[in-house]
């Protein structure tokens, strides 16, 4: 029983010590774009909504005063990596591995 208690304490320590371990995938995605998780469904100024956090319970908001440009803001559209772009464009897509294209 003492060994089991030590293992549980070690596991809890590792979950706290390793950044990102145990966080929901959508939260990690938001943090990867330097976003913030807000409880409300709408983002306060100067933030814009960019997905969800905490398994869809919160809104991922990104600061619009930084180098924030979504693909759609720049006139492009997001495509998966297997689609070839004729012309790529700078802009953020909701899926990190996707790319922003003006022409496919």
pLDDT of residue 21: 57
Radius of gyration of the chain from Cα atoms? 18
Instruction: Indicate the CATH number for domain 23-67.
Output: 3.10.360.10
Q: Tell which wins on pLDDT, 32 or 74.
A: 32
Would you say 74 and 89 are in contact if contact means Cβ atoms under 8 Å apart?
Answer: yes
| Strand-pair partners of 92 | 70
pLDDT digits (tens, 9 = 90+) for 2-24: 664 544 545 445 545 455 457 88
List every span in the chain annotated with CATH 3.10.360.10: 23-67
pLDDT of residue 96: 66
Would you say 76 and 100 are in contact if contact means Cβ atoms under 8 Å apart?
Answer: yes
pLDDT digits (tens, 9 = 90+) for 22-54: 788 888 888 877 788 988 888 888 888 888 898
Q: What angle do CA 38, 44, 47 make, to 5 degrees?
A: 85
List every span in the chain annotated with CATH 2.20.20: 69-103
CATH 2.20.20 is held by the domain 69-103: yes
């Amino acid at each position: 029983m003492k060994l089991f208690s030590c293992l549980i304490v070690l596991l809890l320590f590792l979950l706290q010590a390793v950044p990102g371990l145990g966080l929901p995938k959508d939260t990690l995605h938001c943090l990867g774009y330097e976003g913030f998780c807000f409880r409300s469904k709408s983002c306060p100024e100067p933030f814009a909504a960019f997905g969800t956090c905490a398994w869809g319970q919160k809104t991922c908001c990104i600061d619009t005063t930084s180098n924030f440009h979504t693909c759609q803001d720049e006139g492009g559209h997001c495509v998966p990596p297997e689609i070839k772009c004729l012309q790529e464009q700078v802009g953020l897509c909701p899926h990190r591995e996707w790319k922003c294209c003006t022409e496919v």
